[in-house]
Amino acid sequence: MTRRAARTVSCPQCARPALYAPENQWRPFCSERCRLIDLGHWANESYRVPAESGPVDPASLAAPETDMLSSEG
11 interacts with Zn ion by CB under 5 A: yes
Q: Segment contacting Zn ion (CB under 5 A): 5-13, 20-28, 43-51, 58-66? A: 5-13
Contact set for Zn ion, span 15-54 (CB under 5 A): 30, 34
Backbone angles phi, psi at 17, to 5 degrees: -65, 130
Q: Which amino acid is at 37?
A: I
The correct pick among 9, 14, 19, 37 for binding Zn ion (CB under 5 A) is 14
13 interacts with Zn ion by CB under 5 A: yes
Kindly give, in sequence order, each residue whose CB lies less than 8 Å from that of residue 35, ignoring residues fewer than 6 positions away: 13, 26, 29
The C-alpha atoms of residue 11 and residue 24 are separated, in whole angstroms, by 12
Residues lying near Zn ion in the complex (CB under 5 A) are found at 11, 13-14, 30, 34
